[in-house]
């Protein structure tokens, strides 16, 4: 049998239910992996070994009494450092919240705990989820599991590395403009960004409230579906959650009847590396071989997606981060007059990228500019949504690369904000439109991971995951 920490959730569930392994053994294997690798990779910023082992023991008692709770009962997972776990630090990768302790559980975390999942700890992230490399964390960069001189992507790089390096069986992150899918692509895992409103944001530290969405990292598509199922659903604590039927997987053996749209103009303008293009074209061919009808489509306003995102997101960042003022919680640098306390606390608490986006958003919302930037961006956002809606009248899923390149070197783009923002060229429009999308590894040549993105219709995670599962089997 393969090492315990290398098991998929599907395999581990079967072994746990048969009593062939215990949750304590599984959890200890992940903790051993964390102890051995985290010093080099910095995937976790907080590890709760004692709590995790106690939770595992509780599952083993439940199993012996034949009363397990659910699909993740006894399964060890990690959560991103912006998802609140009561009584534990939650810093969103920022010095300004270095000593902040969560006073309640995020709804998604509560569902995990109620379902018996074993939470191993908090994973590293770019500060307040602002970045595509996990180099903007106040607690040091996370390193790529295959090459520690490269980035793992971001902002949920810690969660991606935790899964890729077998430091957990699954993990959760948040996706505002690609922060699940891009690190999943660079690290070679599956990453799912659900439809906006599918998963509650209550207890998720906000970056851009109209774009943020919690989703899973997994070793395969089946595991991603299991992790997603555990946290989905309407929540009275988040009025943006949707009253939609619960997600139910619909697994198929082929792609007969599936219409796949390929926005070639978008591909051509994305600055794709040759190897990424080759591997994604190979994935498209595999979909054809599985019975899918592949057709080129027009996707108007695709070019404007990045610009719209980088207006709307900083505006919401400016508003959401205004609460961190050194008064109620977080870092406080007292001075007189009172205004100086605000200035010192925010100047010393926020990192460079957070400050940059706060300033951009504050400018775009200021008198005389709000109509030219924010209001105009909202109008184009509506056009982007309509363009996707029209496209989905003709196709069932849309295929693109997840990122235009493989993992780049640490520090390579730190002084090039525009280059870093272009990492999201294929992902941000999905958040602007509120659609579900999945990144899956598609490389077949043994090189650095390449991510292939499938975009689905609103609330059609079942169809999206089903198509991805068939393609995954073909790529293997």
| Residue whose C-alpha is closest to residue 297's, from 259, 260, 261, 267 | 261
pLDDT at 279 over 70: yes
Please, how many CA atoms are within 13 Å of residue 374, restricted to the half-sphere of its CB? 18
The encoded tokens of residue 310 equal 């980088």
CA 369/CA 363 separation, integer angstroms: 7
The catalytic residue positions are: 80, 155, 179
Q: What is the pLDDT of residue 270?
A: 72
Alpha-carbon distance of 366 to 437, in angstroms, equals 33
Mean pLDDT of 396-412: 97
Q: What is the pLDDT of residue 303?
A: 83
What is d(CA 157, CA 76) in angstroms, rounded to the nearest whole number? 18
Q: Token pair for residue 226?
A: 């299991």
Cα end-to-end distance, the chain, whole Å:
20
Contact 162, 144 (CB under 8 A): no
Q: What is the pLDDT of residue 342?
A: 82
Q: How far apart are CA 48 and CA 164, in angstroms?
A: 20
322-332: average pLDDT: 85
Query: Residue 476 gets which letter from DSSP?
Result: -
Q: What pLDDT was estimated at residue 269?
A: 78
**For residue 337, what pLDDT is reported?**
86
For 334: left if phi > 0, alpha if psi spans -120 to 50, otherwise beta; the answer is beta
Asked whether residue 189 carries a pLDDT value surpassing 70, the answer given is yes
Apex CA 245: angle with CA 242 and CA 249, to 5°?
120
Token pair recorded at residue 470 = 């068939």
pLDDT confidence of residue 1: 57
Which pLDDT score is estimated for 150? 98
Q: Supply the pLDDT for residue 329.
A: 79
Average pLDDT, the chain: 95
Region of 52 please: left (phi>0), alpha (psi -120 to 50) or beta: alpha
Distance CA 468, CA 466 (A): 5
What per-residue confidence (pLDDT) applies to 135? 97
Ranges 73-77, 101-105, 155-159, 297-301: which has the least confidence: 297-301
Q: What dihedral do alpha carbons 18, 19, 24, 29 form, nearest 10°?
A: -60
| Averaged pLDDT for residues 159-167 | 98
For range 221-243, the mean pLDDT? 97
Where does 201-351 have alpha helices with state H? 221-231, 264-268, 274-289, 302-320, 338-349
User: Is 113 a residue whose pLDDT tops 90?
Assistant: yes
Contacts of 8 (CB under 8 A, 6+ apart): 169, 218, 219, 220, 222, 223
Residues 339-378 as b/e (b if ≥16 CB within 10 A, e otherwise) read eebbebbbeebbbebbbebbebbbebbeeeeeeebbeebe
Listed in sequence order, the residues at least 6 apart from 88 whose beta carbon sits closer than 8 Å to its beta carbon are 46, 48, 101, 102, 122
Q: Say if domain 4-231 classifies as CATH 1.25.40.340.
A: no
Give the span between the Cα atoms of 5 and 82, in whole angstroms: 25
Average pLDDT over residues 389-416: 96
**Predicted confidence band at 375 (pLDDT cuts at 50, 70, 90)?**
very high
Are 320 and 206 in contact by the 8 Å Cβ rule? The answer is yes
- Could you give the CA distance from residue 213 to residue 233 in angstroms, rounded to a whole number? 12
pLDDT, position 347: 87
Strands 437-441 and 451-455: antiparallel
Give the list of residues 6+ apart from residue 336 with CB closer than 8 angstroms, or none: none
User: What values do phi and psi take at 293, rounded to 5?
Assistant: -95, 115
Q: Does position 255 have pLDDT exceeding 90, yes or no?
A: yes
Provide the β-strand partners of residue 437.
193, 455
**pLDDT surpasses 80 at 163:** yes
Q: What is the pTM of this model?
A: 0.96
Local confidence band at 341 (pLDDT 50, 70, 90 cut-offs): confident
- Cα–Cα distance, 475 to 456 (Å, whole number): 20
The count of C-alpha atoms lying within 13 angstroms of the C-alpha of 412, restricted to the half-sphere facing its C-beta, is 15
Residue 71 contacts residue 229 (beta carbons within 8 Å): yes
Q: How confident is the model at residue 194 (pLDDT cuts 50, 70, 90)?
A: very high
Q: Which of 179-183, 272-276, 339-343, 454-458 has the lowest mean pLDDT?
A: 339-343
What are 67-86's pLDDT values in tens digits?
Answer: 878 899 999 999 999 999 99
Per-residue model confidence as pLDDT tens digits over 413-469 = 998 888 899 999 999 999 999 999 999 999 888 889 999 999 999 999 999 999 999
- Mean pLDDT within 10-30: 96
What is the Rg, in whole angstroms, of the alpha carbon atoms belonging to the chain? 21
Q: Is residue 94 a contact partner of residue 138, using CB atoms and an 8 Å limit?
A: yes
Q: What is the mean pLDDT of residues 289-293?
A: 98
Numbers of helices and strands, H then E, in the chain: 16, 11
Residues near 232 by beta carbon (within 8 Å), at least 6 away in sequence: 194, 198, 199, 246, 247
Q: Per residue in 40-56, pLDDT tens?
A: 999 999 999 999 999 99
């Amino acid at each position: 049998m393969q090492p315990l920490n290398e098991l998929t959730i599907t395999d581990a569930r079967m072994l746990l239910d048969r009593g062939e392994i215990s949750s304590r053994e599984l959890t200890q294997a992940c903790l051993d992996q964390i102890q051995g690798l985290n010093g080099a990779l910095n995937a976790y910023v907080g590890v709760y070994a004692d709590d995790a082992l106690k939770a595992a023991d509780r599952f083993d008692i439940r199993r012996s009494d034949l009363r397990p709770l659910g699909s993740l009962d006894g399964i060890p997972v990690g959560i991103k450092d912006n998802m609140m776990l009561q009584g534990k630090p939650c810093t969103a990768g920022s010095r300004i919240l270095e000593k902040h302790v969560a006073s309640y559980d995020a709804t998604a975390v509560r569902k995990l705990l109620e379902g018996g999942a074993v939470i191993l700890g908090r994973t590293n992230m770019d500060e307040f989820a602002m970045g595509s490399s996990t180099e903007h964390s106040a607690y040091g960069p996370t390193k790529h599991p295959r090459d520690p001189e490269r980035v793992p992507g971001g902002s949920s790089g810690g969660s991606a590395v935790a899964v890729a390096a077998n430091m957990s069986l699954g993990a959760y992150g948040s996706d505002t403009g690609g922060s699940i899918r891009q690190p999943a692509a660079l690290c070679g895992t599956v990453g799912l960004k659900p439809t906006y409103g599918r998963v509650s944001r209550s207890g998720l530290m906000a970056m851009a409230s109209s774009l943020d969405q919690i989703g899973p990292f997994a070793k395969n598509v089946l595991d991603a579906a299991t992790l997603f199922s555990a946290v989905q659903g309407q929540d009275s604590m988040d009025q943006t959650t949707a009253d939609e039927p619960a997600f139910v997987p619909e697994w198929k053996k082929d792609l007969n009847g599936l219409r796949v749209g390929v926005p070639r103009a978008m591909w051509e303008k994305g600055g794709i590396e040759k190897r990424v293009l080759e591997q994604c074209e190979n994935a498209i061919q595999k979909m054809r071989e599985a019975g899918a009808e592949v057709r080129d489509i027009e996707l108007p306003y695709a070019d404007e997606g990045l610009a719209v995102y980088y207006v709307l997101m900083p505006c919401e960042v400016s508003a959401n981060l205004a609460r961190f003022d050194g008064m109620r919680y977080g870092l406080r640098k007292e001075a007189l007059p009172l205004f100086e306390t605000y200035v010192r606390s925010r100047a010393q608490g926020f990192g460079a990228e957070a400050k940059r986006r706060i300033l951009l958003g504050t400018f775009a919302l200021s008198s005389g500019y709000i109509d030219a930037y924010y209001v105009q961006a909202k109008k184009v956002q509506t056009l982007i949504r309509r363009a996707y809606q029209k496209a989905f009248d003709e196709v069932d899923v849309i295929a693109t690369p997840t990122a235009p390149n493989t993992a780049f070197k640490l520090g390579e783009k730190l002084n090039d904000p525009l280059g870093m923002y272009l990492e999201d060229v294929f992902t941000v429009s999905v958040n602007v439109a509120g659609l579900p999308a999945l990144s899956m590894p598609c490389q077949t040549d043994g090189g650095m991971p390449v991510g292939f993105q499938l975009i689905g219709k609103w609330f059609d995670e079942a169809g999206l995951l089903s198509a991805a599962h068939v393609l995954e089997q073909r790529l293997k």
